[in-house]
Amino acid sequence: MSQGIEQHNPGHSTRAQAHPNIALIKYWGKSDTLMNLPSAPSLSITLDTLVTETSITNASGNSDEVWLDGEKTIDLKIAGWLIDLRQRFDLPPLEIRSTNNFPTASGLASSASGFAALITAINAHCELGLDNNQCSIWARRASASAARSMQGGWATLSGPHWHVESLEINWPVRVVVAITDATRKAVSSSVGMAQSKDTSPYYPAWVETTTQDFAAATDLVAAQDFAALAELAEHSCLKMHGLMMSTQPGLLYWKPATLAVIHAIRELRAEGVPVFFTVDAGPQVKAICLPEAAKAVEDKLASISGVQQTLNVGLGPGAHLVTNATP
Ligand code: PMV
């Protein structure tokens, strides 16, 4: 069952990078918490510029060491995931060092890029022999959205296999991220989702209609129909936040500036600017726009009171190794 790798690469490090992805058709809720299967499919874009870089070396001691953004950490999610991975593979104790060039756990999908980079680096360092689909399944077991960061550009995560798939389209939209509060969120996605499933009267309708939204959105992306995708993606986002707010206790990830940015984006679109918004489990707003509109969108969002920073990013690649990895 297991594959021995203890002898591999002592003293050498293996580095991988992955980028966050932003869902335009959101998932929120799981049908199987053990395997971390979403209850509905999702569609996303993987970004460039924002990046998680993870390096793996064999640990000098008998246990794993995890360093996140330069600090030695005990991360229960990573620890639990490594226990699962070791049920399948013999891994030596690992030293894991991961850094983000953007705020962690604040609605910028750091767990997506984090676990995609982690499985990519471990797969290579420990010679697990996993292909991209299998890596995305392992990433998904930690954080379902992480499966999507294994793929660049436009990607989907849907059943029955629940590994990432590419939409195989070259449609270079841009994303202006308006950061309104970079502190860590109070309720994690996993906890929030479980609460929504257990308590929101809207949950069954959310699952049913998201499956329909997903099918419609894949057609709109294939047709590069920006205007129709804008309406559907905003609907998916607001529907998810409506579900969150109807959870007990209510989940409210927005700040006042989040709403101000949403209104500004709607005003821009009403004036004919090709832009729409999406917001995840945090207060940041992502404005998706056609490339020619990105500068005007960024200028507008940067001028809003409460917007601390804007980032103007494009679409990026899937998780990959950094080949000059050996010190
Ligand atoms: O997969 P998680 O646990 O990182 O949750 C992601 C949840 C959302 O970002 C809100 C939606 C999505 O599909 O990415």
Token pair belonging to 284: 């940041």
Tell me how far apart the 2 most distant CA atoms of the chain are, in Å.
62
How far apart CA 110 and CA 52 sit, in angstroms, is: 8
- Of all atoms in ligand 1, which is nearest to the CA of residue 148? 14
Best residue for ligand 1 mutational test, from 39, 141, 280 (most atoms within 8 Å of Cβ): 280
Confidence of residue 127 (pLDDT cuts 50, 70, 90): very high
Mean model confidence pLDDT for the chain:
93
Among protein residues, the one whose CA lies closest to atom 5 of ligand 1: 189
Residue of 24, 26, 238 to mutate, ligand 1, most atoms within 8 A of C-beta: 26
Question: Could you tell me if residue 321 is inside a domain?
Answer: no
pLDDT of residue 307: 97
Query: Looking at ligand 1, which residue's alpha carbon is closest to its atom 10?
Result: 280
Report the range of poorest mean pLDDT among 53-57, 84-88, 107-111, 166-170. Answer: 107-111
CA–CA separation, 192 vs 109, rounded Å?
15
Q: What is the pLDDT of residues 156-181, one digit of tens each?
A: 999 999 999 999 999 999 999 999 99
pLDDT given at position 106: 57
Give the other-Cβ count within 10 Å of 246's Cβ: 16
| 183 in a structural domain | yes
Tell which atom from ligand 1 comes closest to the C-alpha of 280: 10
Question: In terms of domains, do 266 and 150 share one?
Answer: no
Same domain, 140 and 268: no
Based on the fold, state whether residues 166 and 41 are members of the same structural domain.
Answer: yes
160 and 253 inside one domain: no
One-letter amino acid for residue 143 of the chain: S
Q: Which residues contact 71 (CB under 8 A, 6 or more apart)?
A: none
Strands (E), 185-274: none
For a mutational test of ligand 1's pocket, the pick from 189, 211, 258, i.e. the residue with the most ligand atoms closer than 8 A to its C-beta, is 189
The pLDDT value given to residue 2: 37
- Does 88 lie in the same domain as 68? yes
Of 266 and 109, the structure prediction assigns the larger pLDDT to: 266
144 and 239 housed in the same domain: no
The yes-or-no verdict on residue 27 having pLDDT over 90 is yes
Shared domain for 86 and 182, answered yes or no, is: no
List, for residues 47-67, the tens digit of each pLDDT value.
999 999 999 999 999 999 999
**CB–CB of 200/240 below 8 Å?**
no
What CATH number is attached to the domain comprising 148?
3.30.230.10
Q: Would you place residue 316 in the very low, low, confident or very high pLDDT band (cuts 50, 70, 90)? A: very high
Is residue 156 a part of any domain in this protein? yes
Q: Could you tell me if residue 322 is inside a domain? A: no
% of the chain residues with pLDDT over 70: 94
Q: How far apart are CA 83 and CA 80, in angstroms?
A: 5
How many domains does the chain contain in total? 2
| 26 Cα: distance to centroid of ligand 1 (angstroms) | 7
pLDDT over 90 at 85, yes or no: yes
Mention every residue, 6+ apart, whose C-beta is less than 8 A from residue 190. none
- By alpha-carbon position, which residue is closest to atom 9 of ligand 1? 280
* pLDDT score of 309 more than 80: yes
CB-based contact 43:23 (threshold 8 Å): yes
Q: In this structure, are 178 and 151 located in the same domain?
A: no
Report pLDDT for 104. 66
Range of the domain at 118: 5-170
**Confidence band, pLDDT 50/70/90 cuts, at residue 283:** very high
Are 111 and 180 found together in one domain?
no
Residues 17 and 144 in one domain: yes
pLDDT at 8: 54
In 3-state terms, what secondary structure has residue 14?
A: strand
Per-residue pLDDT at 325 exceeds 70: no
Last residue of a domain, one of 149, 170, 191: 170
Q: Residues 12, 108: one domain?
A: yes
Cα separation of 139 and 133, whole Å? 10
- 326 band by pLDDT with thresholds 50, 70 and 90: very low
- Residue 89 Cα to ligand 1 middle (Å): 27
pLDDT at 11: 73
Report residues whose beta carbon is within 6 angstroms of any ligand 1 atom: 23, 26-28, 42, 111-112, 143-145, 189-190, 280-281
- pLDDT, residue 3, reads 40
Rounded to an integer, what distance in angstroms lies between the CA atom of residue 232 and that of residue 243?
16
Based on the domain organization, do 180 and 141 belong to the same domain?
no
The atom of ligand 1 lying closest to the CA of 22 is 14
Cβ-proximal residues to 84 (8 Å cutoff; 6+ apart), any chain: 141
What is the pTM for the complete model shown?
Answer: 0.94
CB atoms within 10 A of CB 1: 6
Separation of CA 129 and ligand 1 centre (Å): 27
pLDDT, tens only, 196-250: 999 999 999 999 999 999 999 999 999 999 999 999 999 999 999 999 999 999 9
Q: Give the nearest ligand 1 atom to 143 CA.
A: 1
| CATH classification at residue 236 | 3.30.70.890
Q: Is the pLDDT of residue 4 over 70?
A: no
The answer to whether residue 149 sits within a structural domain is: yes
**Does 276 map to a domain?**
yes
Atom of ligand 1 nearest to the CA of 42: 13
* Residue 136 within a domain: yes
Distance CA 16, CA 170 (A): 24
- How far is ligand 1, taken at its centre, from the CA of residue 277, in Å? 16
